[in-house]
Structure 1
Amino acid sequence: MIQISENIFLDKHIFELDIPTAFLPSPYKPLPFLVIKNFLKPHELPLFVDDIYHDDDAETAKVKSEVILGVVEAKVVKKYRDTKIYAISEYLNELYHTRFQEYQSQIEEYFNIAITLSTEIQALEYKKGGFYVQHADDSNAIIDENKNIIAYHPVAPERKMTTVLFATSYSDNPDNKHSFKGGELIFNFLKNKDGKTIEFKADAGDIIIFPSNPYFSHEVKEVEAGYRLTLVQWHNAILN
């Protein structure tokens, strides 16, 4: 394992790959990602859940796949991903952006970056059985005949940073609307000092920010019960 922050290590195999979009934050930080607690306040969270929970105007989330001439085509592949995408209302979109601007300087300072452009917010809904297999947000993995990752090919290199805001909470005893069981966010190549893979069990209102490159490949474990709702964005940035 390769130490990449005070408390986190990276799989040596992945670190040694030639990854065109590779970027790591300062190794002197406690973690190579940033978690901001209560990014959304308790009284604001139900607004987002209620906006999506009974909304049938959803798009089944797709998986990027590269096709001829370098064009990237998105396809629905249920064996890789089972979730739905919603757009949030104009009011909630403004609320989110206002809050993000309040924290933007903190995020930029932590990663030593300058955010330039951001995507539209995607509200990702995972109900019971929902999941998303291991993936990098900016690249596709290249696999050999033994199913080992031997390289990554960028398909969305403009994605430098990923933000995931949890509108519902992880709970061992979830209800049907405001919490969920299972659905852990797993960072496949990040380990603690004991070699255990890093997993994130969020409270509603938490936002986690991390680089979009393959070092931070991640997955969403299958939701066992309840309702997992996250707001996701990708950000282009100048890396200092």
Structure 2
Amino acid sequence: MTKQKLEQISNYVYCDSLLNSLDIETKLLPNPYYDYPYLIIKDFFSKEVCSEIIKSIKKDEDAIDAKVKSKNYANHINKNIRKTKIYKLEQEYKKIYNKMFKLHQAKIENFFNIALTTSTKIQVLEYTKGSFYVAHSDDSNMIRKDDNLIGFKRISNNRKLTSVLFATGHGSSGDINSFFGGELLFNYLYDEKGNNIKIEPDAGDMILFLSNPYFTHEVLEVKSGYRLSIVQWHDALIN
């Protein structure tokens, strides 16, 4: 059991009570009677489409190193914080993605009790062996004093919801269609035994979660294989 004091936020998930003591601008949480405070859509993409996307990305040499925001909120590359490459999704797969997202949009809005408005450009994130992304909140910077978390500074007003679609799945085979390590870990969310919530997806799964500090997360270091995800952030009206 962790040393943190935990508070229940859904049937099977608890959060670190520290968060409730902090002045967080965006404290929205889903219905506490749900089993989980995040939504997983199975088979958002078929395995066949995922394989096609992997092949298209492997042919693409036009990648950039992912950036992070520093204390002055300027974007810069820091591979001690984030070791990831960003690719663009080809137009034909964007059309499939947008079609599937619209198909699930009503379900997504109902789950989070929001009305989606605009979305950022789609990013394809590549994590190879040794790649990772340390703990971060999608809409805020973490504020620390003497290594202790004392708050969050909101920096992205248009990020209310995060969606992550996995083109490769978690597994031990270590080939181009799967990865070992590289789990999506929620730093302040725990199960009934006090273990951090870790997502070990199948290829084609999409997970959606609120972008606020309650859902601070990291990508653990990839031990082997190939982790490819398609990420987008969404603005919304809060009902």
Q: With structure 1 as the length reference, what TM-score do the two structures score? A: 0.96
Task: Look up the SS of the partner of 2:47 in the other structure.
Answer: coil
Kept after mapping to 2: 8 A contact 1:166/1:205 = yes
Q: Which residue of 1 aligns with 2:156?
A: 156
5 Å-filtered alignment, 1:37-56, equals: 37-56=42-61
Task: Look up the SS of the partner of 1:43 in the other structure.
Answer: helix
Task: Look up the SS of the partner of 1:44 in the other structure.
Answer: helix
> How far did 1:106 drift?
0.5
Q: Which residue of 1 aligns with 2:216?
A: 217
Are 1:80 and 2:114 matched, yes or no? no
Gaps of 5+ in 2: 1-5
- Give the fraction of aligned pairs with identical amino acids, expressed as a percent: 46
Bigger shift: 46-55 or 216-225? 46-55
Q: Which residue of 2 aligns with 1:25?
A: 30
Residues in 1 aligned to 2:52 and 2:238: alpha-carbon distance in whole angstroms: 34
Q: Which residue of 2 aligns with 1:112?
A: 113
Are 1:3 and 2:8 matched, yes or no? yes
Residues in 2 aligned to 1:196 and 1:127: alpha-carbon distance in whole angstroms: 26
Residues in 2 aligned to 1:219 and 1:93: alpha-carbon distance in whole angstroms: 26
Q: Which residue of 2 aligns with 1:89?
A: 90
> How far did 1:54 drift?
2.7
5 Å-filtered alignment, 1:86-235, equals: 86-145=87-146, 147-175=147-175, 177-235=176-234
Letter in 2 for 1:217: T
> How far did 1:226 drift?
0.7
Residues in 1 aligned to 2:197 and 2:71: alpha-carbon distance in whole angstroms: 29
> How far did 1:212 drift?
0.3
Q: Would you say how many aligned residue pairs link Structure 1 and Structure 2?
A: 234
> How far did 1:15 drift?
2.2
> How far did 1:50 drift?
1.1
Residues in 1 aligned to 2:16 and 2:42: alpha-carbon distance in whole angstroms: 28
Kept after mapping to 1: 8 A contact 2:129/2:224 = yes
Task: Look up the SS of the partner of 1:95 in the other structure.
Answer: helix
Residues in 2 aligned to 1:50 and 1:119: alpha-carbon distance in whole angstroms: 24
Residues in 2 aligned to 1:116 and 1:65: alpha-carbon distance in whole angstroms: 28
Residues in 2 aligned to 1:150 and 1:100: alpha-carbon distance in whole angstroms: 36
Kept after mapping to 2: 8 A contact 1:66/1:155 = no
Task: Look up the SS of the partner of 2:126 in the other structure.
Answer: strand
Residues in 1 aligned to 2:232 and 2:208: alpha-carbon distance in whole angstroms: 10
Kept after mapping to 2: 8 A contact 1:116/1:238 = yes
Kept after mapping to 1: 8 A contact 2:172/2:178 = no
Kept after mapping to 2: 8 A contact 1:143/1:150 = yes
Kept after mapping to 2: 8 A contact 1:21/1:157 = no
Residues in 2 aligned to 1:48 and 1:96: alpha-carbon distance in whole angstroms: 11
Gaps of 5+ in 1: none
Residues in 1 aligned to 2:194 and 2:20: alpha-carbon distance in whole angstroms: 15
Letter in 1 for 2:145: D
> How far did 1:55 drift?
1.4
Residues in 2 aligned to 1:16 and 1:3: alpha-carbon distance in whole angstroms: 15
Could you list the per-position Cα deviations for residues 164-212 of structure 1 after superposition, in whole angstroms to 9, with x for gaps in the alignment?
000001112221x111111000000000111111000010000000000
Q: Which residue of 2 aligns with 1:60?
A: 65
Letter in 2 for 1:13: L
Residues in 2 aligned to 1:182 and 1:203: alpha-carbon distance in whole angstroms: 13
> How far did 1:23 drift?
1.0
